[in-house]
Amino acid sequence: MKRRQSATQLAERMLAGDSLALPRLISLVEGESAAVAEIMRRIAPHTGRAYCVGVTGPPGAGKSTVVDKLTVLMRQRGLSVGIVAVDPSSPFTGGALLGDRIRMQQHYLDPGVFIRSMATRGSHGGLPGTVQGVIKLLDASGRDVILVETVGVGQTELDVVNTADVVIVVVTPESGDAVQAMKAGLFEIADIFAINKADREGAQRMKAELEAILAMKPGESIAVVLTEAHRGVGIEELYQELERYRRAQEENGELERRRRHRRREEFLELLQRRIRRRFLDFADKDGQLKALTEQVVAGELDPYSACARVLGDRHWLDKWLSQEGPALSEAEG
Amino acid sequence: MTEEKPTRVLIAKPGLDGHDRGAKVVALGLRDAGFEVIYTGIRQTPEMIVHAAVQEDVDVMGLSCLSGAHKTLFPKVVELLRQSGRQDVLVIGGGIIPEDDVPLLMERGVQAIFPSGTLISRIADYIRDKVQR
């Protein structure tokens, strides 16, 4: 309650550089508090400056370590850094173990580095649905670069594409052969590849195969960098590729195109999420809908027919839409 | 289905002992109890721990110490939290903590001590009771 009342002041305090305000605001955004819209309106004039780097790849590839080492280089160049490190929420309990900070210990005395761990909280695309809002907060707080580390992904958790200005895909020499690289999904979204743990067997071969595949895509130049992140090897080169990519992106208008696309995606995503949440809440309370669900559970009614019945019932939809909106209210409690 | 706003808990090991099994067991147990647990690993200074707690905006801080330095380290963490403006964080402790030391720790701002052998469910219930009122 205390937090809800002070959302606007919190935003003011954050913009004034108060170090406690940013973490609190992130919690409000992450918890989808009713104050989010107000917070976003307040900080909007201060956003759009930061460059957002997405780092994704399979579990254990070394994403956190790459992020940590890139942060060192960025700090040496005087850039302030915000890091969002995501780990999965349990689909069973909602709990999560967030362990990415372990690899990022060296920055704790540096006020130029802000690290926040996030759990996916029911989202399945590798990033929580609220990450975009958190990135905006970091942006408004004056971070030059924001590094977003996804959960360890498989082939299709690709939210990061609609989140970052550039995507680094971190893989290891064991991540697969040329055919893997030809498949849709993870290998398709990289703007830059880092083959990490490159001291292991097969790194050179993988680089050659990847480059051969990438050469088949005309008009794009996607760099493949060999790294041994834990020793800092190849990180300077990776950083150079980032810089090169960013310059090209700014010159050819690709950055703005990407950001426009992102705004659209964010809006539609947000609408979906809110509608879904409002509906689930309704489904929880509405007796008629519960009874229908019971019929489906008992096998008496197939889900398709049940669905048609719900969506075909104007009265029902009106009831749903006109209910007191609980969808945004949990932070008011 | 799942909780709308999970409670965030930092599990940290201040000091120099590397015995992190207990901390990991508690971290996993609390994860399974539906909490978001931030685990920062071994050999942390109180400054590092409090820094992480502030950035992560945690509700609860669980400290584990098996080296015998708890009488110095736990109160230090509490003090730094206060200096950072986060005296509202619920600080609890565990590890090898002699019973005789508990009153002193409580006096210095640690809210509860859960010695080895404590059921995780007891810790989870305690946190829910204190934080999610």
Segments making up each domain of chain B, as ranges: 8-126
CA distance B17 to B96: 11
Topology classification of domain A47-252: Rossmann fold (3.40.50)
Q: What is the number of other CB atoms lying within 10 angstroms of the CB of residue A136?
A: 23
CB-based burial of residue A121 (10 Å sphere; 0-12 exposed, 13-18 middle, 19+ buried)?
A: buried
Q: How many CA atoms lie within 13 A of A298 on its CB side?
A: 8
Q: Does the beta-carbon distance from A116 to B30 stay under 8 Å?
A: no
> Which chain B residue has its CA at the smallest distance from A330's CA?
B4
Average of per-residue pLDDT across A313-318: 86
Q: What pLDDT does A284 receive?
A: 84
CA distance A185 to A31: 29
Those of residues 291-330 in A touching chain B at CB distance below 8 A are 330
Query: Is A105 an 8 Å CB contact of chain B?
Result: yes
Q: Does the beta-carbon distance from B55 to A114 stay under 8 Å?
A: yes
Mutate to test the interface with A, among B26, B40, B84, B127 (most CBs of A within 10 A): B40
DSSP class of residue B70 equals: H
Residues of chain B with C-beta less than 8 angstroms from the C-beta of A4: none
Average of per-residue pLDDT across A143-154: 95
CA distance B126 to B121: 8
Cβ(B49)–Cβ(B84) below 8 Å: no
Q: Is pLDDT above 50 for A3?
A: no
**Best CA proximity match to A234, nearest among A271, A285, A188, A195:** A195
Q: How far is CA A161 from CA A21, A189, A221, A333, in A?
A: 29, 7, 17, 35
CA distance A99 to chain B (A): 5
> Which chain B residue has its CA at the smallest distance from A29's CA?
B5
Q: What pLDDT does B17 receive?
A: 85
A7-21, A276-290, B27-41: the lowest-pLDDT one: A276-290
Query: Is A26 an 8 Å CB contact of chain B?
Result: yes
Q: Does the beta-carbon distance from B31 to A95 stay under 8 Å?
A: yes
All structural domains of chain A with their residue ranges: 1-46, 47-252, 279-332
Q: What pLDDT does A69 receive?
A: 97
Q: Does the beta-carbon distance from A102 to B2 stay under 8 Å?
A: no
Instruction: Give the model confidence (pLDDT) of A106-127 as tens digits.
Output: 998 899 999 999 999 988 899 9
Residues of chain B with C-beta less than 8 angstroms from the C-beta of A114: 55
Q: Does the beta-carbon distance from B2 to A330 stay under 8 Å?
A: no
In total, the C-beta contacts within 8 angstroms joining chain A to chain B are 91
Helix H, strand E, coil C: the string for chain A is CHHHHCHHHHHHHHHCCCCCHHHHHHHHHHCCCCCHHHHHHHHHHHCCCCEEEEEECCCCCCHHHHHHHHHHHHHHCCCCEEEEEEECECCCCCCEEECHHHHHHHHCCCCCEEEEEEECCCCCCCCCCCHHHHHHHHHHCCCCEEEEECCCCCCCCCHHHHCCCEEEEEECHHHCCHHHHHCCCHHHCCCEEEECCCCCCCHHHHHHHHHHHHCCCCCCCCEEEECEHHHCECHHHHHHHHHHHHHHHHHCCHHHHHHHHHHHHHHHHHHHHHHHHHHHHHHHHCHHHHHHHHHHHCCCCCHHHHHHHHHCCHHHHHHHHHCCCCCCCHHHC
Instruction: Give the model confidence (pLDDT) of B36-83 as tens digits.
Output: 999 998 999 999 999 999 999 999 999 999 989 999 999 999 999 999
ipTM: 0.93
Q: Is pLDDT above 50 for A4?
A: no
CA distance B44 to chain A (A): 9
Residues of chain A with C-beta less than 8 angstroms from the C-beta of B62: none
Average of per-residue pLDDT across A176-201: 87
Q: Does the beta-carbon distance from A20 to B41 stay under 8 Å?
A: no
Topology classification of domain B8-126: Rossmann fold (3.40.50)
Q: Please tell me which of the candidates A20, A27, A119 has its beta carbon nearest to residue B85.
A: A20
Mutate to test the interface with A, among B2, B87, B127 (most CBs of A within 10 A): B2
Average pLDDT of every residue of chain B: 93
Q: Does the beta-carbon distance from A102 to B39 stay under 8 Å?
A: yes
Task: List, in order, residues 6 or more apart from B118 with CB less than 8 Å away.
Answer: B94
Average of per-residue pLDDT across A86-90: 95
Query: Is A2 an 8 Å CB contact of chain B?
Result: no
Average pLDDT of every residue of chain A: 91
Q: Does the beta-carbon distance from A101 to B48 stay under 8 Å?
A: no
Query: Is A333 an 8 Å CB contact of chain B?
Result: no
Mutate to test the interface with A, among B13, B55, B61 (most CBs of A within 10 A): B55
Q: What pLDDT does A282 receive?
A: 86
Q: Is pLDDT above 90 for A168?
A: yes
Average of per-residue pLDDT across A308-331: 73
CA distance A141 to A136: 8
Q: What pLDDT does A197 receive?
A: 97
What pLDDT band is residue A281 in, cutting at 50, 70 and 90?
confident
CA distance B63 to chain A (A): 16
CA distance B2 to chain A (A): 5
DSSP class of residue B68 equals: S
